[in-house]
A and B are shown apart, each in its own frame.
Chain A
Amino acid sequence: MDISFKAVSHTYQPNSPFEYRALKDLSFNIQSGQFVAIVGHTGSGKSTLIQHLNGLLKPTSGEVMIGGYRLKAGEKTANIKGLREKVGVVFQYPEHQLFEETIEKDIAFGPKNFGATEEEIQTRLPKVLEAVNLDAKLLDRSPFDLSGGQMRRVAIAGVLAMEPEVLVLDEPTAGLDPKGQQEVMDMFYRLHHEKGLTTILVTHSMEDALKYADHVIILEQGKKHLEGQPEEIFVQKERLKQVQLDVPEEIQFLMDLKTRLGISITYDKHSVDDLVREIKAQIGGGR
């Protein structure tokens, strides 16, 4: 589904001493099938932004279009439940939303709310379990018996089981160990391509944004600071510095390589091995 923000502002508790403008006149477009990273500091408005994607919040001015759904101040959105079925949101620390007696019931909770039949759920279950790499033997256990990492996988499976067209991820790897982080991100990346999802990733990690996204939006105090392809965005060291963001490690490495050794390589989603090969080729070695 195509998503567009047109001059969207959101103010919390308007007309009180606690008035806070979280989004200011924000406009951008996301095309169906894109993998978009939204990057910014704490308080830059990321969380407010993603709550507009499934109608948890409405803009206080401006307009949000998600597929055929329109969110606008003072206007009642028709069939908001339909919107929430199509836009799956994995919130920060999604394991906090687990509540059912068994893992199976918890995963089935979302689809059931959106009217999926028992059969549909049973056909979806093995698929989502495989996607998040969980053992089917666990299905009858209580989600509260699991380790933190496994609980997160169950919670993610619960969102995937809704079979959304748009997947919104709010720092899905926060608090996981490095290996877990890698696994979870690779899983989302794989799903993105396999199912043709539109994925919106909110992250602090410049490296993840560079590696997975094909479009990056950098927010600063509720405004759009930069937007574009990651290869273009992440080389603008000065502009990033203005909002206290760093250049991703890979890009920084290539920059140093150029200034110190005069080897010029343009970043093009290289893996570490590819990069080694390219550098070898450049220095004419291959030893």
Chain B
Amino acid sequence: MASSLIIGQYVPADSVVHKLDPRTKIMMIFTFVVVIFFANNAYSYLWLTVFSLSAAALTKIKPHFLLKGLKPVWFLIVFTFLLHLFVTREGDVLTTIFGLPIYSGALIQGFQISLRFFLLILITSLLTLTTTPIEITDAIETLLHPLKKIKFPVHELALMMSISLRFIPTLMQETEKISKAQASRGVDFKTGPLKERIQAVVPLLVPLFVSAFKRAEELAMAMEARGYRGGEGRTRLRELEIVRRDYMAIGLFLIVMIGLFVLRT
């Protein structure tokens, strides 16, 4: 069930992209997501596609795994394409399908928008595929640090994020474990009338909540026992550090961005 969706799943590998500072990656991806909307002709789209595909290749994650992981969003991409194809009325009429005229402008626009969509999802999934959740929260904490000046609880937010991320797999395991135990006691989660299937969720949710609360309490106690008192004056085990590799990546990325603005019309 969860195995087909790869967004949000970290795949360890020994690649340049994995080794980049998470802040570099976040900033680049954030910029990319904004800048992709500036592309407006075939050259600029081609330029960005080449960039995204080379970035994906650099991660050393197997391409078929990447594509398989994007499976759930293929539907959206195709749907976007078809919607634009039938609704846009620009340029010349090329042909008619089911009595609907297809315009050349629609073909181009549909293609552009779905390509843009595909690139956006590919690039953003690269972030979570190559960066551990802990690195991401660390990066967000440092990036948001200036907000401390206006009393924004940056550290607490980052802590909440890392705790939630940390417990997603634990809760998934727990869910699987309990659903197996209840299935062994004759609960049928997969077949039967809808009403019964909804009722079948109760024996799953109650134990899950019980254990989640218990876990939260234990975690709070363990943190207090180890002297946790918020972010004030806390030092880090892993310091984030911008090194030469990051400067080179940023430099390359800037060239790509400048190239884009040269190519667009």
Binding site for B on A (CB under 8 A): 13, 16-18, 51, 54, 56, 81, 84-85, 87-89, 91, 94, 96-99, 109-110, 112-114, 144, 158-159, 162
Contacts and interface: CB of A to CB of B under 8 A. Distances in A.
B3 A16 contact: yes
Interface in B168-184: 174, 177-178, 180-184
Interface residues of B, number: 24
A101 B56 CA distance: 52
Interface in B216-256: none
A91 B211 contact: no
Given A16-B65, A17-B61, A99 B186 contact: no
Given A16-B65, A99-B203, A54 B211 contact: no
B206 A99 contact: yes
Given A17-B61, A96-B211, A84 B184 contact: yes
Contacts of B183: 56, 84
B185 A56 contact: no
Contact of B185 (A16, A96, A109, A144): A109
B61 A158 contact: no
Contacts, number: 64
User: Looking at chain B's contact residues, is the secondary structure mostly helix, strand, loop, or mixed?
Assistant: helix
B188 interface: yes
Contact of A113 (B3, B186, B206): B186
Contacts of B140: none
Interface of B: 3, 11, 61-62, 65, 68, 174, 177-178, 180-188, 202-203, 206-207, 210-211
A221 to B, nearest CB: 21
Contacts of A85: 186
Given A17-B11, A17-B61, A114 B178 contact: no
A94 B188 CA distance: 19
A97 B205 CA distance: 10
Contacts of B3: 13, 16, 18
A286 B180 CA distance: 55
Contacts of B187: 113
Contacts of A94: 181
CB-based closest 10 A-B pairs:
A113-B186, A99-B206, A110-B185, A97-B181, A89-B184, A114-B186, A99-B203, A91-B181, A99-B207, A13-B3
A17 B211 CA distance: 30
A70 to B, nearest CB: 19
Given A17-B11, A51-B180, A162 B207 contact: no
